[in-house]
Amino acid sequence: MSRIAIYPGSFDPVTNGHLDVVRQAVFLCDRLIVAIGVHPGKKPLFSTEERLAMVHEVFGPIAQKAGCAFESATYDNLTVAAARAAKATLMIRGLRDGTDLDYEMQLAGMNEAMAPEVHTVFVPASVAVRPITATLVRQIAQMGGDYSAFVPSSVAASLKAKFAD
């Protein structure tokens, strides 16, 4: 039986923290689906198409090198519904600190109640990427700061282009 994992998030933008999670997740499954949540009430910095392109460019080679099949998808419903639709039995969630753990434990419990066949797997962030959040990266970029240490180089170029206008 193939182990299919889903790694959900907004990925707005892809950060080195996301990359760290994917580097670990590709060894836990046979197929990894990075699922971008699309919510009509939110206005992301990058379009869905731009985020899908970032995800493929940054994560695709990592999965390929590990021998893990890789794909991306979008969803606009509950994450557990997206997991079920993808036939995923694992949901990958990154943890940076105790605050993340508290929130993620609540989320995992609710998800388990709704979809007991989907098991949450927590992936601890490496020390170097623990402080990185996409929100902070966006704020640094919007204020003209140097975000290059927090995102892959291709994403840094996309951020630079976004704020050059």
Q: Residues within the annotated binding site for ATP?
A: 10-11, 18, 94-96, 104, 129-135
Q: Residue 84: count other Cβ atoms within 10 Å of its Cβ.
A: 16
Contact (Cβ atoms closer than 8 angstroms) between residue 52 and residue 14: no
Contact (Cβ atoms closer than 8 angstroms) between residue 90 and residue 4: yes
Two structure tokens written together for 14: 């892809």
| 99 vs 53: CA distance, rounded Å | 30
Biggest CA-to-CA distance, the chain = 49
CA angle 155-63-88, nearest 5°? 105
List the binding residues: 10-11, 18, 42, 79, 93-96, 104, 129-135
CA angle 127-132-135, nearest 5°? 165
List the binding residues for substrate: 10, 42, 79, 93
| 146 vs 165: CA distance, rounded Å | 17
